[in-house]
Chains A and B, each alone.
Chain A
Amino acid sequence: MTTKALKLKELAKGEDRFAHGHRMCAGCGAPIVVKQVLMATDYPIIAANATGCLEVSSCIQQFTAWKIPWMHSAFENAAATISGIEAMYRSLVKQGKLEDKNVKFIAFGGDGGTYDIGFQALSGAMERGHDMMYICYDNGAYMNTGIQRSSATPFGADTTTCPAGDVIPGKLQNRKDLTRIMAAHGIPYVAQASPANWMDLMKKVQKAFEIKGPKFMNVIAPCNRGWRSRTDDAIALAKLAFETCYWPLYEIENGITKITAKPKEKKPLVDFLKPQGRFKHMFAPGNEYLLEQAQAYVDAQWERLQKEAAFWGEE
């Protein structure tokens, strides 16, 4: 199958496989990610979804936003669930009981359902080599249950379980670098993407779908409730995350790291932090060290990524 042309005009004419009328909050980044992913391809898709905001808001009673076959079973097992669906597909095709229609299998999970409780199932599914793509929409906390910290929550963030208090200034730990951990599984394709760079995201989805085997994509998905930002800032914040190199856009294909887009000029991290209420306390007098620490971590990560890409000559 030839890959679909990524022209806005053409894309706008295509069928929406994630329908309007879902009940995600106004301004949520997650449904934008889902739409971009589904829009990138004309392949038939079957999706599994971990419990979380996307799942509870997209299929309620007799109403579903999903125009593709879709399954939610629990929180920690989207990867295992889709691996069962994919295994059944393979089995029936192999036995001649089902026609091979080149179906693509996706699991969607929030960062909690991916970095934390679903990590084992994800790791297992990737190691087993299912022909599937796991997409984490990373909003940096357990948003569905009310903004609790996850291992994807950035350093310093104020969440309901690591509230910025007089003694503890928000989250004390850095984010887990899940994208790299997934790359360490030695799977054929791992990428980090952002809905602000939609063309980059869609190209990655297209590329991934042409690769057999397990794929992982980590996509930033701003959440105005949890980040305490303006309702319509999701894309602006995703863009700042890219421009400050807080959320670099890169891919690791067969072990080779490539930075797929670089900001013209690396902006200071505070540009990303400032519009978000969850980092407000970091700007209080006396807390400069928090900003410094946060910046130092982003710098080190960015430095390392650039070195890695340079090593492969893919900078």
Chain B
Amino acid sequence: MGKIVAVTGNEACAYALKQINPDVCAAYPITPATDLMQRFSGYVSNGQVDTELVLVESEHSAMSACIGAAAAGGRVATATSSQGLALMWEMLYIAAGTRLPIVMPLVNRALSAPLNIHGDHSDGMGARDTGWIQIYSENAQEAYDNLVQSFRIAEHLEIRVPAMVCMDGFIVSHSIERVEYIDDADVKNFVGKFQAVHPLLDLEHPKSYGPLILTDLYHEYKRAQHEVMTKVPGVVLEVAAEFEKMTGRKYGLFEEYRLEDAEIAIVVMSSAAGTTKDIIDQYREKGVKVGLLKPRMFRPFPFTQIAEALKHVNAIAVLDRADSFGGYGPLFSEIAGAVMSMDHKPAMINKIFGLGGRDYLPEQAEQVINELIKISETGKVGAIKEYIGVRE
């Protein structure tokens, strides 16, 4: 059994990186992710890792250097938030399209304008189509566990896809929580040796990376990428099963909380799920059959498995910590996509909450559950999309 510590999300992730000991990290500071790489730099300076740390002049170069390093043939990680991820946008597609297993903690933060450094999912959601695996974490323990697992997932020889491990900026990254660390040797053993595929550094077998592919084959390349994504859920579950054997902590593609017999359900990701579970417990005591579904793997999105898990509920509220202006929240759209395959379609509402770090309070969860109860009774839905927790 590992060590129990009181640490922040960033601290736990920096520690996971230390235990994993990547060959190269290239990074650039941005709140709230800065603190993670800063802590990791300490391990580098004190010789506690073998990592070559490349302190680049921008996030665009951070991801570019990670891409070069990963193609060269070794284990690579970086971390960022918000504007940093936005600046990487071009390179995120190139990392995924080149099938380089880079791992990146994403400390979720709002996007400008107006400038705001606090937690929401706008950054991650903006990168949902880049071809990266995205895993969202509720707390520091999950961020740590997900980060350890993500190297195994990204580097899996059947997929080789880069992975983002997301946690809520400040709410998780900067809050001290109880975390159970895995022993160094166990992490090392679990993650295993990096297996290079077509490394650039193989001088005997020179490879060209990054060709021009025009109309005759580009479409096929993209289909291949799509097909690889369909294999990811299997890999994520396989890695989770092994992880559970090692730690006793169970992970799936999503978490279900009191959902089995629920009539109404809330779907929400990351830290807000914790608050929601507490309120669900209170309503359950009053006899209200309410449950929760917390997606863990947002990309690829497990449509069929989620449809199966939600098939018996009458009404669903999807809580998005990001907006797609002029559209529904991104999580809502995915849940609506999942629901499409159901015979019996539940009523659905979409609440946009917590932008720019606005607190998600118990009252907001209560308000949503009350609305779901009404919808379930009357079958009538008011506004489908609505902001909650807004100052009027």
Chain A interface (Cβ < 8 Å from any Cβ of B): 44, 46, 48-49, 55-56, 59-62, 64, 66-74, 76-77, 79-92, 94-95, 97-98, 101, 103, 120-121, 123-125, 127-128
Which stretch from B150-158, B198-206, B292-300 is at the chain A interface?
B198-206
Nearest A residue to B202 by beta-carbon distance?
A: A69
Nearest A residue to B213 by beta-carbon distance?
A: A61
The reply to whether the CB of B50 lies closer than 8 angstroms to some CB of chain A is: yes
Task: Decide if B209 touches A72 in the complex (CB within 8 Å).
Answer: yes
- Output the least CB separation between B74 and chain A (Å): 5
Nearest B residue to A60 by beta-carbon distance?
A: B212
Nearest B residue to A77 by beta-carbon distance?
A: B64
Q: A83-B54, A87-B52 are contacts. A59–B211 as well, Cβ < 8 Å?
A: yes
Which stretch from B90-98, B227-235, B374-382 is at the chain A interface?
B90-98
Nearest A residue to B93 by beta-carbon distance?
A: A74
Partner among B58, B72, B206 whose Cβ is within 8 Å of the Cβ of A124: B58
Could you say which residues of chain B place their CB within 8 Å of the CB of A97? 23, 74
Task: Decide if A91 touches B51 in the complex (CB within 8 Å).
Answer: yes
Q: A64-B208, A71-B71 are contacts. A91–B50 as well, Cβ < 8 Å?
A: yes
- Output the least CB separation between B125 and chain A (Å): 23
- Output the least CB separation between B294 and chain A (Å): 35
Task: Decide if B56 touches A74 in the complex (CB within 8 Å).
Answer: no
Partner among B50, B55, B66, B201 whose Cβ is within 8 Å of the Cβ of A98: B201
Task: Decide if B91 touches A71 in the complex (CB within 8 Å).
Answer: no
Partner among A61, A67, A68, A82 whose Cβ is within 8 Å of the Cβ of B212: A61
Most buried by A among B26, B70, B98, B203: B203
Interface string of B57-68 (1 = CB under 8 A from A): 110111011111
Partner among A59, A62, A94, A123 whose Cβ is within 8 Å of the Cβ of B50: A94
Nearest A residue to B50 by beta-carbon distance?
A: A95
Task: Decide if B91 touches A74 in the complex (CB within 8 Å).
Answer: yes
Could you say which residues of chain B place their CB within 8 Å of the CB of A125? 61
- Output the least CB separation between A30 and chain B (Å): 16
Q: A80-B56, A98-B201, A121-B64 are contacts. A71–B24 as well, Cβ < 8 Å?
A: no
Task: Decide if A91 touches B57 in the complex (CB within 8 Å).
Answer: no
Could you say which residues of chain B place their CB within 8 Å of the CB of A61? 211-214, 216-217
Task: Decide if B74 touches A83 in the complex (CB within 8 Å).
Answer: no
Could you say which residues of chain B place their CB within 8 Å of the CB of A67? 206
Nearest B residue to A124 by beta-carbon distance?
A: B57
Beyond contacts A56-B212, A70-B208: 8 other A-B pairs, Cβ-Cβ < 8 A, are: A55-B212, A61-B217, A71-B208, A71-B209, A74-B91, A84-B72, A91-B51, A103-B201
The reply to whether the CB of B327 lies closer than 8 angstroms to some CB of chain A is: no
The reply to whether the CB of B210 lies closer than 8 angstroms to some CB of chain A is: yes
Task: Decide if A120 touches B69 in the complex (CB within 8 Å).
Answer: no
Could you say which residues of chain A place their CB within 8 Å of the CB of B68? 48, 71, 73, 80-88
Could you say which residues of chain A place their CB within 8 Å of the CB of B58? 120-121, 124
Task: Decide if B71 touches A85 in the complex (CB within 8 Å).
Answer: yes
Task: Decide if B94 touches A80 in the complex (CB within 8 Å).
Answer: no
Could you say which residues of chain B place their CB within 8 Å of the CB of A70? 206-209
Give complex CA distance A101, B204 in Å.
Answer: 12
Nearest B residue to A127 by beta-carbon distance?
A: B57
Give complex CA distance A48, B209 in Å.
Answer: 9
Q: A66-B208, A77-B91 are contacts. A95–B23 as well, Cβ < 8 Å?
A: yes
Chain B interface (Cβ < 8 Å from any Cβ of A): 23-24, 26, 50-52, 54-58, 60-62, 64-74, 76, 90-91, 94, 98, 200-203, 206-214, 216-217
- Output the least CB separation between B88 and chain A (Å): 11
Could you say which residues of chain B place their CB within 8 Å of the CB of A89? 72, 201
Task: Decide if A83 touches B65 in the complex (CB within 8 Å).
Answer: yes
- Output the least CB separation between A203 and chain B (Å): 25
Task: Decide if A88 touches B23 in the complex (CB within 8 Å).
Answer: yes
Could you say which residues of chain A place their CB within 8 Å of the CB of B202? 69
Partner among B60, B66, B206 whose Cβ is within 8 Å of the Cβ of A68: B206
- Output the least CB separation between A44 and chain B (Å): 5
Task: Decide if B74 touches A85 in the complex (CB within 8 Å).
Answer: no
Task: Decide if A84 touches B66 in the complex (CB within 8 Å).
Answer: yes
Give complex CA distance A89, B65 in Å.
Answer: 12
- Output the least CB separation between B55 and chain A (Å): 7
Task: Decide if A87 touches B201 in the complex (CB within 8 Å).
Answer: no
- Output the least CB separation between B273 and chain A (Å): 36
List 5 A–B pairs whose Cβ atoms lie within 8 Å, in order of A's numbering. Answer: A48-B68, A74-B91, A83-B65, A84-B72, A88-B23
Task: Decide if A88 touches B203 in the complex (CB within 8 Å).
Answer: no
Could you say which residues of chain B place their CB within 8 Å of the CB of A128? 54-56
Could you say which residues of chain A place their CB within 8 Å of the CB of B71? 71, 85
Q: A83-B68, A92-B74 are contacts. A69–B207 as well, Cβ < 8 Å?
A: yes
Task: Decide if A69 touches B52 in the complex (CB within 8 Å).
Answer: no
Task: Decide if B212 touches A88 in the complex (CB within 8 Å).
Answer: no
User: A-B pairs with the 8 shortest C-beta distances?
Assistant: A84-B68, A124-B57, A84-B65, A72-B210, A88-B72, A80-B61, A80-B64, A77-B64
Give complex CA distance A85, B52 in Å.
Answer: 11
Could you say which residues of chain B place their CB within 8 Å of the CB of A90? 52
- Output the least CB separation between A149 and chain B (Å): 23
Task: Decide if B206 touches A84 in the complex (CB within 8 Å).
Answer: no
Task: Decide if A71 touches B65 in the complex (CB within 8 Å).
Answer: no
Could you say which residues of chain B place their CB within 8 Å of the CB of A84? 24, 26, 54, 64-70, 72, 76
Give complex CA distance A69, B50 in Å.
Answer: 25
Task: Decide if A81 touches B206 in the complex (CB within 8 Å).
Answer: no
Give complex CA distance A60, B212 in Å.
Answer: 5
Give complex CA distance A23, B73 in Å.
Answer: 29
Could you say which residues of chain A place their CB within 8 Å of the CB of B73? 88, 92
Give complex CA distance A74, B217 in Å.
Answer: 19
Task: Decide if A121 touches B211 in the complex (CB within 8 Å).
Answer: no
Could you say which residues of chain B place their CB within 8 Å of the CB of A86? 68
Could you say which residues of chain A place their CB within 8 Å of the CB of B210? 49, 55, 59, 71-73
- Output the least CB separation between B217 and chain A (Å): 6
Q: A73-B94, A87-B65 are contacts. A124–B200 as well, Cβ < 8 Å?
A: no
Nearest A residue to B210 by beta-carbon distance?
A: A72
